[in-house]
């Protein structure tokens, strides 16, 4: 790469897209710096299903063994009634069959940690700080930070999630690009909960709300809540109160789960939204992952898409020898239609997560039961599981990226 072409790239966010982008940019000969506002990598959170293009990229980063060791192979999705009796569900072998066994469920924080470990010696990393100002100049971006002196970078990439501050600074307020899907999601982990039901995703639903549990290692259990209201609750006490209001009268294990929630220090809590932007870049600033095109948890593939986009963005910058306008244009051309298709699919699927009526619940459960018939299962999930995008191959001049 010529010395006059962009080399220094500031990446905001050390979630999934950020470390992946830093990894591939470093393999392409750029000098990435990652800035993360949290004081350390986040732990806990929620679990994700991971397969397809994301899995392929993780493999190319040399992470396949680690993600399988950190992950779980869930064998059944089981819907129960208020008394805990199975009323619907299916064996998840179809996912494994359709992906050639390359399907794993793992904590999002683990995927982030494993990707980050791959770049610690290849990128400058800054924790506990964040970008507060950006000026896009003809030959650089001038950047101000919450702490410390301002710096200049050749390019700045926002990989800072659904509520991306880089998007706000460079493109405008979030509500211009956010499509709220009308749901709230929450998740927390607890220790020593019983029962466990190893490798089964157990789910209980009432009209407009669901709660599920997954047994994790070290005697931990993860709970996931999705309910059909879009409520704002900024702090832990308000979020706990919102969950009590929604699930307080619930059957099944709701009372015990709410008791466990009282002892949890960390709770993931957010509205369910998508991000739809007319462009993913402006000048020397671009967005990647949820910051650019959040598909929402309803797509079940946001991490894989974040990794795919990070890989393509780095690859296109490498291919264009750092000519950022050309690279940003190609990055978007390769991915936009594919991502739009995933967003549409997620919107269609949203009502299946927490159907708003009793009839809706019954219908959803019948559909889940149909998925237990092998041929039908392949038909039902095949379209969404098998990726239609072919991952481009790029040349990584900084030798073996692993």
Ligand X SMILES: Cc1cc2nc3c(=O)[nH]c(=O)nc-3n(C[C@H](O)[C@H](O)[C@H](O)COP(=O)(O)OP(=O)(O)OC[C@H]3O[C@@H](n4cnc5c(N)ncnc54)[C@H](O)[C@@H]3O)c2cc1C
Q: Which residues bind ligand X (CB under 6 A)?
A: 12-18, 35-38, 42, 46, 48-50, 108, 130, 159-161, 165, 185, 187, 224, 289-291, 297, 300-304, 306
Q: Which is nearer to ligand X, 108 or 240 (CB)?
A: 108
Residue 210 CB, shortest distance to ligand X, in Å, is 12
Residue with smaller CB distance to ligand X, 289 or 322: 289
The continuous run of DSSP H or E covering 223 comes out as strand 220-227
C-alpha 232 chain-centroid distance? 21
Alpha-carbon distance of 315 to 297, in angstroms, equals 26
* Exposed/middle/buried for residue 173 (C-beta within 10 Å: 0-12, 13-18, 19+): exposed
Q: Least distance in Å: CB of 182 to ligand X?
A: 15
The distance of Cα 106 from the centroid of its chain, to the nearest Å, equals 12
Smallest distance, Å, CB 257 to ligand X? 16
Nearest approach, Cβ of 28 to ligand X (angstroms)? Answer: 19
Pick 185 or 200: Cβ nearer ligand X: 185
> Please, which residue, 42 or 75, has the CB nearer to ligand X?
42
Give alpha helix (H) positions in 294-373.
Answer: 302-319, 324-353, 358-370
Report the candidate in 166, 187, 145, 156 with the shortest Cα–Cα distance to residue 21.
Answer: 156
CB of 83 to ligand X, least distance (A): 27
Give the distance, in angstroms, between the CA of residue 33 and the centroid of all CA atoms in the same chain.
21
Which residue carries 């009268």 as its tokens?
A: 249
324-353 and 358-370 helices, crossing angle to 10°: 110
Q: What is the DSSP string of 74-130?
A: --EEEEE-TTS-EEEEEETHHHHHHTTT-EEEEEHHHHHHHHHHTTTTTSEEEES--
Closest to ligand X by CB, 13 vs 32, is: 13
What is the closest distance, in whole angstroms, from the C-beta atom of residue 290 to ligand X in the complex?
4
Please say which residue, 161 or 315, places its beta carbon nearer to ligand X. 161
């Amino acid at each position: 790469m010529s010395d006059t072409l962009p080399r220094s790239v500031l990446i905001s966010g050390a979630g999934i897209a950020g470390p992946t982008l830093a990894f591939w940019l470093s393999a392409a000969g750029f000098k990435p710096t990652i800035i993360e506002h949290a004081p350390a990598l986040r732990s806990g959170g929620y679990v994700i299903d991971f397969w397809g293009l994301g899995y392929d990229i993780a493999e190319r980063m040399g992470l396949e063994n680690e993600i399988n060791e950190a992950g779980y192979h869930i064998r059944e999705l089981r819907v129960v009634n208020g008394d805990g009796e199975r009323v619907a569900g299916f064996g998840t072998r179809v996912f494994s069959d359709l992906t050639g066994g390359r399907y794993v469920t793992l904590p999002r924080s683990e995927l982030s940690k494993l990707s980050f470990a791959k770049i610690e010696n290849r990128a400058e990393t800054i924790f506990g700080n964040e970008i507060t100002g950006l000026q896009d100049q003809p030959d650089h971006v001038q950047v101000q930070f919450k702490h410390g002196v301002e710096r200049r970078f050749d390019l700045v990439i926002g990989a800072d999630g659904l509520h991306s501050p880089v998007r706000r600074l460079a493109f405008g307020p979030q509500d211009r690009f956010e499509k709220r899907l009308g749901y709230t999601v929450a998740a927390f982990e607890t220790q020593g909960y019983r029962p466990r039901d190893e490798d089964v995703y157990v789910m209980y639903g009432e009209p407009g709300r669901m709660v599920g549990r997954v047994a994790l290692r070290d005697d931990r259990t993860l709970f996931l809540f999705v309910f059909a209201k879009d409520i704002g609750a900024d702090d832990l006490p308000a979020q706990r109160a919102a969950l009590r209001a929604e699930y307080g009268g619930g059957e099944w294990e709701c009372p015990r789960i709410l008791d466990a929630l009282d002892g949890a220090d960390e709770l993931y809590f957010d509205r369910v939204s998508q991000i739809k932007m007319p462009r993913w870049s402006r000048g020397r600033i671009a967005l990647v992952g949820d910051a650019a095109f959040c598909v929402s948890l309803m797509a079940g593939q946001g991490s894989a898409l974040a990794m795919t986009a990070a890989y393509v963005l780095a690859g296109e910058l490498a291919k264009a020898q750092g000519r950022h306008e050309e690279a940003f244009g190609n990055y978007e051309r390769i991915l936009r239609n594919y991502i739009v298709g995933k967003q549409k699919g997620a919107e269609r699927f949203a009502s299946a997560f927490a159907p708003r009526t009793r009839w809706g619940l019954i219908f959803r459960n019948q559909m889940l039961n149909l998925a237990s018939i092998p041929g039908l299962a392949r038909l039902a999930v095949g379209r969404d599981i098998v990726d239609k995008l072919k991952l481009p191959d790029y040349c990584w001049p900084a030798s073996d990226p692993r």
